[in-house]
Amino acid sequence: MPGNAPKFAHPCFQNAPARVARMHLSVAPKCNIKCSFCNPAGGDTCVHGCMPGLTSGVLTPQQAVEHVRRVRQGGTPIRIVGIAGPGEPLFNEATFETIAGVRAAFDDIHICLSTNGLLLPERLERILRLGVETLTVTVNCLTVDCARLIYEHVEGRRDGGAFRRLLANQLEGIRLAAAHGLCVKVNSVLVPGENDREIPLVARRVAELGAYIHNVLPLIPRPDARRREAPSRELIDSVRAQCGDCIEQFTRCRHCRADAIIDADE
């Protein structure tokens, strides 16, 4: 089924340039899965660098709303507020409190949400009630064998049932979200030798379920015993070309931090 296009200019959901000021609110520290390439639980408290999961601190919902207010009063015309971590937004009640607070305080701000998808089917109704308009779901693979490489655990478990539940909920959540009118982007982290052959299958499946756009993110290696390497430019281009046969590929991703603020002129 064709995906739902965004109803407003959103630089993270379109390849055409869009000058829109946006910011991420770092309010969701807890996570319910562990990606084998991810930051430590809770994210890194670092003011330098640019990659998902980095944050200089975690805000309460009240602090988050005031943070938006101060940024806007300082001259940055924020029009999009996203919640992308540093943990799993749907696993943190603060996510929902923050969205409600932002919606109540500002009637001209669009809400964007990112998720690993595990809780998406059961939390979708709350997301819709709160007026979320754009949703990013990370789907790195389709099979349990590949999931065992990509994820260290799902809710503390490494059995096949846990991985199957994650994969099934990701796909069902995308289907339901698209069916209810949300614009859905799917992120896939490209890990050479582990899921490079499976990501094109992910692209085809999520396109069938109603995703609008697909973002292949090259792995950013972290020091660990597995010594993964970043994918080559050739591999990235090859995987994107295969995926592009069935769904538009997003190629302007900036690997934003969990507390990023991006002005309209950037």
pLDDT tens-place string over residues 54-102? 666 899 999 999 999 999 999 999 999 999 889 999 999 999 999 999 9
- Contact in structure between 163 and 144 (CB atoms under 8 Å): yes
User: Is 15 domain-assigned?
Assistant: no
User: Is 239 domain-assigned?
Assistant: yes
Q: In this predicted structure, what is the pLDDT of residue 265?
A: 58
User: Is 226 domain-assigned?
Assistant: yes
- Residue 112 scores a pLDDT above 70: yes
The pTM (predicted TM-score) of the whole model is 0.92
Which residue is associated with the tokens 């289907």? 175
Gap between the Cα atoms of 164 and 154, Å rounded: 10
- Residue 43 scores a pLDDT above 50: no
User: Is 1 domain-assigned?
Assistant: no
Closest among 205, 74, 66, 79 to 140, alpha carbons compared: 205
Q: Which domain holds residue 172?
A: 21-262
User: Is 173 domain-assigned?
Assistant: yes
User: Is 26 domain-assigned?
Assistant: yes
Q: In this predicted structure, what is the pLDDT of residue 192?
A: 96
Total of domains in the chain: 1
What lies within 8 Å, CB to CB, of 146 at 6+ separation is: 140, 194, 195, 198
User: Is 77 domain-assigned?
Assistant: yes
User: Is 34 domain-assigned?
Assistant: yes
Report the CATH number at residue 26. Answer: 3.20.20.70
